Amino acid sequence: MHILITGAGRGLGRSLASVSARSGHSVSICSRTAPAVALEHGVRHWFADVADAGSIAAFVLGAVSVHGAIDVFVNNAAVLGGKGRIEDANANDVRSTIEINVTGAFLALAAVLPHVRRPGARLLHLSSYVGRVALPRYGAYAVSKFAMEGLARLAAAENPDLISIAVDPGMVATDMLTAALEGQSAVAGAAPASAESAALRLLALSERLQLADSGATLTLD
């Protein structure tokens, strides 16, 4: 099975690449910077910027030339951006966050769709709790995750032979979560999962999805 993951240089995406390769799958990843740790056998890395249509298209074409049609696409690339109240937002930060998290997710999906295995390929769009519940001070990031939920549903409506879902991974111990919490502890009774354990559950979820799931938002918790 060929699994393609955007923004997988570190964090949950990098862990998903690792556990997928250890499970015997072929894995293609991209990131704007070098991966945080060495790649496992079966993982190929490309430098790409999801917000650049030419860059992401080159990545997808390169991945398909190496590993063949895509069975699972994980639309993962995202940044947290600045936190704060709407009226205090920095315009450049808002534009940058939306450019990567929304425009980038859309362009990545557009590049992938002609190369997925039909029928039954799985499209997993990484969302968040703040993509359904408007938590104060999450700014453009929250807006971007609401958009990701919509993108998953749009892809499901336009491609009835594919499985397109939004996935809320819950709290995962990554640098992004640390930044989001701003030095505060996680909510009592809800300790973050390790990136590897979350990745294992995400891989298992991708393997049991059915067409009836398409258009839904599923959680790993």
Whether 107 shows a pLDDT value over 90: the answer reads yes
Please count the other Cβ atoms lying within 10 Å of the Cβ belonging to residue 44: 17
The token pair at 43 is 């993982």
CA angle, 111 as apex, 108 and 114 as ends, to 5°? 140
**Residue 119: pLDDT over 90:** yes
pTM over 0.85: yes
Provide the annotated active-site residues: 141
| pLDDT tens track for 42-95 | 999 999 999 999 999 999 999 999 999 999 999 999 999 999 999 999 999 999
Per-residue confidence at 175, pLDDT binned at 50, 70, 90? confident
Distance CA 219, CA 171 (A): 11
Q: Which among 134, 213, 100, 118 is positioned nearest to 166, based on CA atoms?
A: 213
Q: What is the pLDDT of residue 199?
A: 97
Beta carbons within 8 Å of 65's beta carbon, 6+ residues apart? none
Q: What is the pLDDT of residue 173?
A: 79
How do residues 7-17 score in pLDDT, each as one tens digit? 999 999 999 99
When divided into structural domains, the chain yields a total of 1
Structural domain boundaries enclosing 98: 2-219
Of the pLDDT bands very low, low, confident and very high (cuts 50, 70, 90), residue 109 is very high
Give the pLDDT confidence of 186-195 residue by residue, as tens digits.
554 578 889 9
What per-residue confidence (pLDDT) applies to 186? 55
- Residue located via tokens 């060495």: 38
Residue 96: predicted pLDDT? 97
User: What whole-number distance in Å separates Cα of residue 182 and Cα of residue 195?
Assistant: 19
Q: Are strands 122-126 and 217-219 parallel, antiparallel or unpaired?
A: unpaired
User: Residue 127 sits in a domain of what CATH number?
Assistant: 3.40.50.720
- CA nearest 98: which of 59, 138, 51? 51
pLDDT of residue 37: 85
Greater model confidence, 109 or 191: 109
Three-state SS letters, the chain:
CEEEECCCCCHHHHHHHHHHHHCCCEEEEEECCCCCCCCCCCEEEEECCCCCHHHHHHHHHHHHHHHCCECEEEECCCCCCCCCCHHHCCHHHHHHHHHHHHHHHHHHHHHHHHHECCCCCEEEEECCHHHCCCCCCCHHHHHHHHHHHHHHHHHHHHCCCCEEEEEECCCECCHHHHHHHCCCCCCCCCCCECHHHHHHHHHHHHHHCCHHHCCCEEECC
Say which amino acid occupies 76. Answer: N
* Mean per-residue pLDDT of the chain: 94
Report how far Cα 87 is from the mean position of its chain's Cα atoms: 28
